[in-house]
Amino acid sequence: MKQLNEPSEDVIQAQIFKFYHNKFCTKLNDVPHVIFSVPNGGLRNKREALKLKATGLVAGVSDLIIVNDKEVLFVEVKTSKGKQSEKQLSFEEKVKTLGYRYLIVRSLNDFKTQLIETIR
């Protein structure tokens, strides 16, 4: 459960997207990076859910994916008390087994700190 006045996962994700996009993804960067979300959440009717699954939607995929000139980085956003689902844990394991980085972040500042620590 999130703490009082703590932003939701959606708000934290939006903050991270805005920060990263404005810092690394513009035409001003020598090699612009790419950051995008995968809309796995939300309520859908059965027909739409079946269509999305048939076209490649995979449960557990991280909230954000970052592609830069050196790596692909997977970012899962959680509140301070948030926990990964079994499908998210399975996705994390697959990503790490393939040699990619996977971050669990709980705020914009947490993302910035971990990003600096993971830059190759």
Each residue of 6-25: pLDDT tens digit?
A: 899 999 999 999 999 999 99
CA distance 41 to 55: 16
Residue spans per domain, the chain: 9-118
CA distance 18 to 71: 20
* pLDDT (average), residues 31-46: 83
**Mind listing the pLDDT tens digit for each residue in 44-88?**
788 887 888 888 888 899 999 999 988 999 999 999 999 999 999
- Residues, the chain: 120
Name the class of domain 9-118: alpha beta
Q: What is the DSSP letter of 79?
A: -
pLDDT at 119: 63
Q: What is the DSSP letter of 13?
A: H
CA distance 24 to 28: 8
pLDDT of residue 5 exceeding 90, the answer is: no
Block residue for tokens 């932003």? 7
pLDDT of residue 34 exceeding 60, the answer is: yes
Copy the structure tokens of residue 90.
């399975």
